[in-house]
Amino acid sequence: MSALEAAFQEFIDALPDSGKEGILRCHPDLAGRDLHRGTLTPESHEEQGGAGLDSLDPSEASLMAQLNQRYKRRFGFPFIICAKMNDKGSILQQLKERVNKDHAEERAHGIEEVKKICHLRLQALTVHKL
């Protein structure tokens, strides 16, 4: 782990719960409006597309939208998963399971997913710079 990544993780871990939830609320919905409008960051678009979220069939898209809404209503932040480490089937499965979790447990899980995303993005930046 790089010093930058370690500092980032220490910063997040030191945040109060409200700060951690603020970080989670900054993330776009998976397979949501931003993906379809083309307004995601290039990194998010690549990650969601690589997981197959840009090619959901109508029933998958409907289920994803319903579960995303339910999740956001329950927790107050969107469902976060490292799309690059999953495919659409595993993302839907985890969303179905995690929507029923305890709030504190899900906040912690979301933060761990943010850390995975950051790790992969920092790794990609390092590779591109070499």
Question: Residue 87's closest CA among 40, 47, 39?
Answer: 47
Question: Residue 17's closest CA among 81, 99, 102?
Answer: 102
Question: Residue 92's closest CA among 42, 57, 119?
Answer: 57
Q: Which member of 27, 45, 109, 119 is catalytic? A: 27
27 catalytic per annotation:
yes
Catalytic residue positions, numbered: 27
